[in-house]
Amino acid sequence: MLARQEELLQFEFFNSDVALEIGLRLVRAAREARQAITVDITRHGQRLFYHAMNGTPPDHAHWIWRKSNLVKRTGHSSYHVHTQVTLGGGTIAAIATLDPREFAALGGAFPLTIRGSGVAGTITVAGLPGADDHALIVRVLRDYLRISETL
């Protein structure tokens, strides 16, 4: 299912206007659910959208950095990596090539993929349990991209 999400939730193009729309949709969805999150959308190393909702702690920025690092390293969502590792009976700390101070295998960072070009950045949410951060991103991207398949 996680691999299928990554396959379907890709963009034909992605610019600052798309980042703004996705970011605002994420914030609006969290607000409607009475949740407080921090959102970061980065493309090719350039931050296109960042918003910390009222009540969020400053350390969300660090979580975003660590989760995004994992996506940049693996090309997969942080929840995808988390699931692979935990289903194998391991923990992120047990992956020798990934320093847990720099990488977080929790849900909440999703690859920003341009169809035909590959991973161009990350869409990252912090503030909810990892699975919920991931589900929020998937729900918003599915709606934005008008993907009817249940993910």
Give the tens place of pLDDT for each residue, 89-127. 766 666 667 888 898 888 999 999 999 999 999 999 999
Q: What is the pLDDT of residue 92?
A: 67
* Cα gap 27→19, rounded to integer Å: 12
* Cα gap 136→108, rounded to integer Å: 8
Using CA of residue 106, residue 110, residue 116, residue 117, what is the dihedral sign?
negative
Q: What is the pLDDT of residue 113?
A: 97
What is the percent of the chain with per-residue pLDDT over 90, rounded to a whole number?
79
- 90 backbone dihedrals φ, ψ, rounded to 5°: -110, -175
Give the tens place of pLDDT for each residue, 38-65. 999 999 999 999 999 999 999 999 999 9
| Helical packing angle, 78-87 and 130-145, nearest 10° | 130
Per-residue pLDDT, averaged over 15-37, amounts to 98
Q: What is the pLDDT of residue 128?
A: 97
Least confident of 30-34, 79-83, 130-134, 139-143: 79-83
Take residue 74 and report the two structure tokens written for it: 């693996």
Indicate the domain borders of the chain.
Answer: 2-145
Take residue 135 and report the two structure tokens written for it: 């589900």
The hierarchical CATH code for the domain 2-145 is 3.30.450.150
